[in-house]
Amino acid sequence: MNSAPNAPSSLKTAPPTGISGIPEMLLSFSLKARNSFGFEVLAEHAYSITHADQISPVIQSIEATGLPWRVLGGGSNVILPPLLPGTTLLMDIAGQAITQQDASGAVVSVGAGVNWHDFVIWTLDQSLPGLENLALIPGTVGAAPIQNIGAYGVEVGEYIQSIEAYDCHSKTMVNYPASECAFTYRNSIFKANPNRYIITHVHFYLPAVWTPRLHYVDLATLFTSDHVPTAEEVMVAVCKIRNRKLPDPKLIGNAGSFFQNPIVEQSQYLHLLDQFPELVSYPEGDAHEGKRKLAAGWMIDRCGFKGMRAGAVGVYQNQALVLVNHGGGTADSVLALAKTIQDKVQETFGVALAIEPIRY
Ligand SMILES: Cc1cc2nc3c(=O)[nH]c(=O)nc-3n(C[C@H](O)[C@H](O)[C@H](O)COP(=O)(O)OP(=O)(O)OC[C@H]3O[C@@H](n4cnc5c(N)ncnc54)[C@H](O)[C@@H]3O)c2cc1C
């Protein structure tokens, strides 16, 4: 069993509320270690949620106050202000187990608070390949479906069987099969309906028949054509590429890709290609639609931002898609830099860049 990523550490605690099932309330809880930008952030109130049955009474008590609230996993895809008002639910539900297995594959059920990368390693230790291309993505298992995390040609939605969540509208636990989760590029019903679903467990289906997925050039070039790599070898290769390209949030604060790769119609793509023959892009969706996903990092680099610094924040020197906090940065300073980049990319390419991390 794996542990949840962040047990609450410090702090003054409020007197017991007397409502059964509600965990201890943490006051002025520091989220500096729980947001990968490393911003100085205080949550006015926080609860560490370690069991699904704590959610209903916590939501009831929050709704009675009318104050704002939100859910936080590992904080690796958020931009947090210095003070988070109201209540923050820290998703710390632990546990992972193979719940079904036969000759065709295995179902694995995992608590929302389990660390994503630890979980990927665990699946490989159980001889259950499939998730290796998604190794080293920071954050929790419960957040993975929110933006349908993806890397190196694989999206997590492809391996999800169903999702258990507390539905804040119906006030019940729901269990959605993947087919009802509307997984698309960096999106899902959970992201499209903020503060409606609180994911408690994710159930994965990992088929027994496995072949490595190496169609991403970076990955393919690490292997020779006469050797079919194992899932472990693919995972090691993915980690190697990521370590080369992406800053470790423990060393330099960041939230991974700060902008989504924009998807454009074929006509706009061809027009851009005419102006910028070296434009980097990938096919998107059904081939007959002809849509293209443009490499936002390439466009930002082409505008001259790679490695630039604006006070405490800047653009990562090895990957222009990543904005970083060199120390002492804030949500406002990183958003001001983002706006400068968005304006320049719009002016140069006529393309709008959408910010990927969620702003609070
Ligand atoms: C260095 C780095 C590299 C990255 N690389 C990638 C990558 O390759 N591909 C990719 O897709 N992403 C990448 N990311 C982004 C990030 O790792 C993922 O989005 C990850 O899934 C976020 O998990 P988290 O637990 O930190 O979520 P958080 O940042 O805590 O939360 C993100 C959102 O999900 C919501 N949420 C969290 N948990 C739950 C829950 N249990 N129920 C309901 N809502 C919830 C929050 O309210 C918030 O809106 C990267 C980030 C970093 C820092």
Q: Is 229 helix (H, G, I), strand (E, B) or coil?
A: coil
Architecture per CATH, 253-359: Alpha-Beta Complex (3.90)
Per-residue pLDDT tens digits for 351-360? 999 999 999 9
CATH number of 96-207: 3.30.465.10
pLDDT reported for residue 217: 82
Segment 118-142 shows an average pLDDT of 98
pTM of the model: 0.92
Confidence of residue 4 (pLDDT cuts 50, 70, 90): very low
Task: Tell me if 96 sits within 8 A of 113, measured CB to CB.
Answer: no
d(CA 299, CA 301): 5
pLDDT reported for residue 148: 97
What spacing in Å lies between the alpha carbon of 277 and ligand 1's midpoint? 34
Higher pLDDT, 153 or 204: 204
**Residue-wise DSSP of 160-225:** EEEEEEEETTTTEEEEEEGGGS--BTTB-HHHHSTTTEEEEEEEEEEES-------SHHHHTTS-T
Positive or negative torsion for Cα 79, 85, 86, 92: positive
d(CA 52, CA 172): 11
Task: Tell me if 144 sits within 8 A of 155, measured CB to CB.
Answer: no
- pLDDT of residue 346 exceeding 80, the answer is yes
What spacing in Å lies between the alpha carbon of 75 and ligand 1's midpoint? 7
pLDDT reported for residue 225: 80
Nearest to 166 by CA among 59, 287, 320: 59
Nearest to 202 by CA among 177, 238, 169: 177
Instruction: From the CA of 36, give the closest atom in ligand 1.
Output: 53
Cα radius of gyration rounded to whole Å, the chain? 21
Does 333 participate in catalysis according to the annotation?
Answer: no
pLDDT reported for residue 288: 80
Computed over every residue of the chain, the mean pLDDT equals 93
pLDDT reported for residue 295: 95
Positive or negative torsion for Cα 241, 247, 251, 255: negative
d(CA 63, CA 6): 25
Domains 26-91 and 96-207 share a fold: no
Does 257 participate in catalysis according to the annotation?
Answer: yes
Per-residue pLDDT tens digits for 77-98? 999 999 999 999 999 999 999 9
- In terms of C-beta density within 10 A (0-12 exposed, 13-18 middle, 19 or more buried), how is residue 189 classed? middle
What spacing in Å lies between the alpha carbon of 190 and ligand 1's midpoint? 12
d(CA 121, CA 126): 9
Q: Which amino acid is at 189?
A: I
Q: Measured between alpha carbons, how far apart are the two ends of the chain, in Å?
A: 32
Segment 126-155 shows an average pLDDT of 97
What spacing in Å lies between the alpha carbon of 76 and ligand 1's midpoint? 5
CATH number of 26-91: 3.30.43.10
Q: Is 154 helix (H, G, I), strand (E, B) or coil?
A: strand
Segment 296-316 shows an average pLDDT of 97
Ligand 1: residue of 39, 48, 77, 92 to mutate (most ligand atoms within 8 A of CB) is: 77
- pLDDT of residue 8 exceeding 80, the answer is no
Per-residue pLDDT tens digits for 253-270? 999 999 999 999 999 999
Per-residue pLDDT tens digits for 202-218? 999 999 999 999 988 88
pLDDT reported for residue 332: 98
* Residue ranges per structural domain of the chain: 26-91, 96-207, 253-359
Segment 164-175 shows an average pLDDT of 97
Pocket of ligand 1 (CB under 6 A): 36, 70-78, 91, 112, 137-140, 142-144, 146-147, 149-151, 190, 197-199, 246, 249, 254-256, 358
- pLDDT of residue 11 exceeding 70, the answer is no
User: Percent of the chain scored above 70 by pLDDT?
Assistant: 94
Nearest to 156 by CA among 128, 175, 127, 184: 184
